[in-house]
Amino acid sequence: MSTISEPMTAGGTRAARPARRRRLISPGLLAALPVIVFLLLAFAAPLLAVLGYSFMPEKTFELTQAPTLENYLSVFSNSYYLSFGKSLGLALVTVLLLMVISWPIAYGMAKLFGRAANFLTLAIIIPLFVSENIRLFGWVLFLIKGGVLLGGLKAWLGIDGESMLYDVPAIVLGLVYVYLPFALFPMVLGISMVPREVTEAAFDMGATRWQVFREVELPLAMPGILIGGLLTFILSLGSLAESKILGGQAVIMIADEIETAFTFGQNWPLGAALSVLLILFSGTLVLTLLNWIDLDKILGRGKGSE
């Protein structure tokens, strides 16, 4: 028996090697090779450079120095964590406001408006073709003292108000305005996943409108809500223009600290360390939430669609 099994094993091994080689040079791999090279050069390489600079001594511009942890220690010793906390707080407030604002709009677009939802979609998308900074400067003209709002109130009603710019509410307004589409459209997708028959059955069984919302619509639409909340949170956490243009740096956000370190401060290692910490925090949050979201169900790749 042993003399028969050994040649078969050896033959099987020899037969498996060409198949393994064919898999390594498959047409799919060859077709994806340009994309892989592009991602390595345009995405992975800059991130690795930032990671390497974060371990270099302060105010050095080369990666040949001995690694050190002084940049990460200075983040906490120089109160940079306060900027992290402020950015985190503003991002959370922005997400909560966007969830409250977006739900009725998304519900109408998914369930009630019919063809009118297409026009509303265009109205929300078209401003995205204009630069974010230009749109924010439009809010400056609207909110500044003597601008569209306060100037109109003084001319028509004799009400003389103070400028609404350069404060935390103005920053939150800018964040909500800029990132509304990123919360709204995933929520529309989530609400559209709620079968109408399920809600009708809940009403037929005597459930109130609040019970249907809490027990049926909200849980079934949660994947879209989580995706929208995640997108807006990450974008708000790394935002810069809103705090500068509308807030006048009343709140120094972490993105502003990173920009200052790389430009005015000429301290690339410190800016790299702040960037790495921000990436780690955001990446951990993304991976944690993705474990809660059934992307196959959202993309229609569940067992029922196979």
The pLDDT assigned to 115 comes to 83
At 288 the three-state DSSP class reads: helix
Alpha helices in the chain (DSSP H): 2-24, 27-39, 45-53, 70-77, 80-107, 116-125, 132-143, 148-157, 168-192, 196-204, 209-212, 218-237, 241-245, 254-262, 268-290, 295-298
Question: Which residues make Cβ contacts (< 8 Å) with residue 248, sequence separation at least 6?
Answer: 165, 166
Query: pLDDT grade, residue 3 (50/70/90)?
Result: very low
The pLDDT assigned to 305 comes to 45
Query: pLDDT grade, residue 6 (50/70/90)?
Result: very low
To the nearest whole number, what is the mean pLDDT of the chain?
82
Query: What would the mean pLDDT of 207-226 be, rounded to a whole number?
Result: 86
Q: Which residues of 67-79 are buried (b: 16+ CB within 10 A; e: fewer)?
A: eeeebbebbeeee
CA pair distance 228, 218, nearest whole angstrom: 14
The pLDDT assigned to 246 comes to 86
Question: Which residues make Cβ contacts (< 8 Å) with residue 81, sequence separation at least 6?
Answer: 75
Q: Are 91 and 281 in contact (CB under 8 A)?
A: no
Query: What would the mean pLDDT of 111-127 be, rounded to a whole number?
Result: 86
The pLDDT assigned to 285 comes to 81
Query: What would the mean pLDDT of 72-79 be, rounded to a whole number?
Result: 83
CA pair distance 283, 264, nearest whole angstrom: 28
2: pLDDT strictly greater than 50? no
Superfamily of segment(s) 79-305: MetI-like (1.10.3720.10)
Structure-token pair, residue 62 = 């080369």
Query: What would the mean pLDDT of 273-286 be, rounded to a whole number?
Result: 87
Query: pLDDT grade, residue 102 (50/70/90)?
Result: very high
Query: pLDDT grade, residue 306 (50/70/90)?
Result: very low
1: pLDDT strictly greater than 60? no
Query: pLDDT grade, residue 72 (50/70/90)?
Result: confident
Query: pLDDT grade, residue 103 (50/70/90)?
Result: very high
Query: What would the mean pLDDT of 59-73 be, rounded to a whole number?
Result: 83
Residues 129-173: tens digit of each pLDDT = 888 888 888 888 888 887 788 788 777 877 777 777 888 888 999
The pLDDT assigned to 19 comes to 55
Residues 170-213: tens digit of each pLDDT = 899 999 999 999 999 999 988 988 888 888 888 888 888 888 88
Query: pLDDT grade, residue 94 (50/70/90)?
Result: very high
